[in-house]
Chain A
Amino acid sequence: MATNLSQSTGDNRILVLAEKPDAARKIAQALSKEGRIPYGDHGVIDLPDSYDGHHYLICSAVGHLYELVDSHQRRDLFPVMDIEWSSRGSQSARRFGKTSYSSMGKITRDRIAQIARAAVQCSKLINACDYDTEGETIGFNSLVFAFSHMNKRPEILRAKFSTLTVEEIRDSFRKLKSSDLSFASAGRMRHLADFLWGVNLSRALTIDSNYGKTHGSFRNITIGRVQGPTLAFIVDRELARLSHVPIPSWTITCDLMKSGIKIITRFANSPIKKQSVALDIHRAVSVAKEAIVKRVGKDILSIPPRYPFDLGELQRESYRLFKQSPKATLSIAQKLYQDALISYPRTDSQKLPERIGIANIFKKLSSFGKYSSLVSQLLSDPKTRTRPREGPQEDSAHPAIFPTGEHPKVELTLIEAKVYDLIVRRFCNAFASNEIVENLRIVFDINLYDFVSSGSVVLEKGWSAYYPFGKNFESSLNVPIVEGEKVPVVSVSIAESYNPQPSRFTEGSLLAQMESEKIGTKATRAETISTLLNREYVHKDRLELLPTGLGTSLVENARVLSPEIVTTGMTRALEERLEKIRSGAESDVEFVAQMVSDFRTVMANMLDKTIEIESENVARTQPRVRPNVQLRSELGSCPSCKTGKLELIRSPKTKKRFIRCSNSAKGCKASSPALPLGQIMPVGERCNQCSWPLVNVSRFNRMSLAKTCSNFSCSSRAVQND
């Protein structure tokens, strides 16, 4: 139920909490009479005379001000079940005293002090953080802890908005609602689950991996409930590639000529799986002089517009078109949101409800030089929809991503402008008419064998006029042809092919896989991929994601100790139950009881397995490798024979590593010793001196990557060593 501030507050001050300083400024601008924002003491914006006559004190968090910490402060101890909320970045201060605050700890401490000082002066609180689970958690924790030292516990109200435009912020302050505790509860439970699984599993795997002994230094082997299955997708795909055995098949194509236009036809039952059959058909067709048109089939397709953008689709399109990583796209979208140019981007919704003010958005966009002709074309088209085409996905908090129609106050960077353009065009596309496409399929009889040619023509342009980034339906089969007609055969060819290895994941396809497996959330998926890259479990070769030796052995060890860590079932079930808390269908007490029970089972399995393995009484059937074993062995093509590949190999006998050409059995002499430990990863460049591939070598510290030539006897290495 909406609450009107003027009904109850008199002239008391009201504390408003925004999620970030930028958002606080936008809110202050919207609430002030003249759009000016005077700074009060200690970063709190004091608005004594706002547009609605209330006295607002506006302050901001800096993301999460509180985090869960292990109260024992012992990194070698697990399982840890004794957890408490503490101010972010205060771990070192808790251990070594107040002078040891990290820089994040200092910022957080100052912010908390500001909020507490402002809270003393206020009788009402308004949570104006982003309206989602995380925003609700930030607001709830900050405001509740800020009042923890006071006797009074004031009411927390919620300002809900999806854009940072003046109208929507003012409207949300007119229709304040009671804070929805189920959102905050789901957020707090998510943090608890992430901590319980992430910290304990990471500690268990760090101890198990024995990284220090094999690499000469300590390293945290970290894993989380979403990270584990995501890493397993990449490792499993690589293993499928490494074990791939191709199967042969044959395709026969026949080129025909009609009125000077070449028609390419293909044997109807392609690909052919048997060589003798393929050769028989090829032989029979080769002697044919003409093809007879057996059937001409036409289909008219009406293809509807694409759904409005949810975050995942925006990230995938941005990756497909601009090669922007999901994390980079989210960060651009967040910036556009903070500049009030688009709506809140962290949404699953594919709906554009009437309440967003569609007519007003079009009006504003039409005054935008770049889009005026596009919008006027859309609005003047009689086939334009009155309601947008929407997808099935819904989000209780926000609509799909849409442009607000506001003009940028500062010039956008090139990539920001591209992403903004994509969002505007996708919004317009949802209102456009269907694309009418004619599919043409012609079946030819060539010496009693059926050959087909197909193509399509766009009869009526619809949404592609506004969103020209979709599939191109136009193809060249624009030949007038009738059944029974004879068409001369120009040439016949046969091609043998083999099915390729499954393609590696890119950041875009990995994000799609995480979405289809329902692991992670819209806000965290991009961050998870980025974490796997930062922790060197995965590396990027151009756009493809490859597991490193460390990442591979992490998945292998996890599978031996407790397979649940790297499978999707456990984390998907957890996500579903968090959703139930959010909707109020499950209590947080039930959730914690079930989660702790699951967690205890996994931990018990891990300990049992460890004891079983360490006792060495059981014949091992599973791989158990240390992080120094590299799965990926190929470094690049051989500069000596040009046809082979240089491979990093560990001798089964001596256990030493060396580099050798894959053509060594055929006489190629290219070989070189390699460092016995550490990660050796190709960087995709060649040495100027000897043309061997350059590699990144990390040995003792994950931060110290050294780019060097893979050839031990190269003169460039001698210079480095000097």
Chain B
Amino acid sequence: MTERTCNLCPRLVIAETPYCIYHKRALTLIKMKYQDWKYAFENISWERYLETILGLKETGEYAKAVARYELRLSGKTDKSQHAVKSG
């Protein structure tokens, strides 16, 4: 059986996710805190939220790594959706 490592570190992934247990936990926290940010800034977009927490010194390194990766993913998704629509 092939072992799959986390996209951000050499640890093994949790089933069905690209992340290890620690980066998965960081993602869960990012998603959870998004509700607080949406309340604070009245419907801040997911991408804007990720960009903002990336620039804060208070954000932890795992959370930053996940935010960076999720931003890259959402960028790819947007572009591919845009290509399909324009095509």
Contact = CB atoms under 8 A, between A and B. Distances in A.
B59 A623 contact: no
B32 to A, nearest CB: 8
Nearest to B27: A243
A240 B36 CA distance: 18
Given A624-B12, A629-B11, A652-B10, A243 B40 contact: no
Interface stretch (A85-93, A200-208, A270-278, A418-426): A270-278
A98 interface: no
A274 B40 CA distance: 4
A243 B3 contact: no
Query: Which residue among A241, A244, A621, A634 has the maximum number of chain B CB atoms within 10 Å of its CB?
Result: A244
Interface string B20-46: 111001100110110011011110000
Contacts of A619: 1, 15
Interface in B29-83: 29-30, 32-33, 36-37, 39-42, 53, 56, 58-63, 68
A152 interface: no
B29 A248 contact: no
A370 interface: no
A644 B19 CA distance: 25
A496 B9 CA distance: 33
Contacts, number: 96
Contacts of B7: 652
A213 interface: no
A655 B5 CA distance: 11
Given A623-B11, A629-B11, A652-B8, A243 B63 contact: yes
Interface residues of B, number: 36
Query: Which residue among B14, B36, B60, B68 has the maximum number of chain A CB atoms within 10 Å of its CB?
Result: B60
Given A498-B56, A620-B12, A624-B12, A243 B36 contact: no
Nearest to B40: A248
B37 A248 contact: yes
Contact of B11 (A242, A276, A616, A625): A625
A121 B22 CA distance: 66
A597 interface: no
Contact of B59 (A246, A621, A625, A655): A246
A276 B62 CA distance: 30
Contacts of A611: none
Contacts of A623: 11-12, 20-22
Interface in A479-523: 498-501
A246 B29 CA distance: 10
B12 A245 contact: no
Interface residues of A, number: 36
A247 B40 contact: yes
Nearest to B1: A616
Query: Which residue among B3, B39, B40 has the maximum number of chain A CB atoms within 10 Å of its CB?
Result: B40
Nearest to A619: B15
A242 B21 contact: no
A499 B36 CA distance: 12
Nearest to A651: B10
Query: Which residue among B12, B25, B33 has the maximum number of chain A CB atoms within 10 Å of its CB?
Result: B12
A652 B53 CA distance: 24
B39 to A, nearest CB: 6
Contacts of A241: 60
A633 interface: yes
Given A274-B39, A622-B21, A244 B59 contact: yes
Query: Which residue among B29, B61, B62 has the maximum number of chain A CB atoms within 10 Å of its CB?
Result: B61
A374 B53 CA distance: 55
A209 to B, nearest CB: 15
A650 B6 CA distance: 12
Given A275-B41, A623-B21, A623-B22, A243 B29 contact: yes
A376 to B, nearest CB: 53
Given A620-B3, A650-B9, A246 B22 contact: no
Closest 7 A-B residue pairs measured CB to CB? A244-B60, A246-B58, A242-B62, A243-B26, A245-B33, A242-B60, A498-B58
24 contacts: A239-B62, A240-B60, A242-B22, A242-B60, A244-B58, A244-B60, A245-B33, A247-B40, A248-B37, A249-B40, A273-B36, A274-B42, A498-B58, A501-B58, A501-B60, A619-B15, A621-B21, A623-B11, A623-B21, A623-B22, A629-B10, A647-B61, A652-B7, A665-B68
Given A246-B33, A501-B60, 12 more contacts: A244-B60, A245-B53, A245-B63, A274-B39, A275-B40, A275-B42, A498-B58, A619-B15, A625-B11, A629-B11, A650-B10, A652-B10
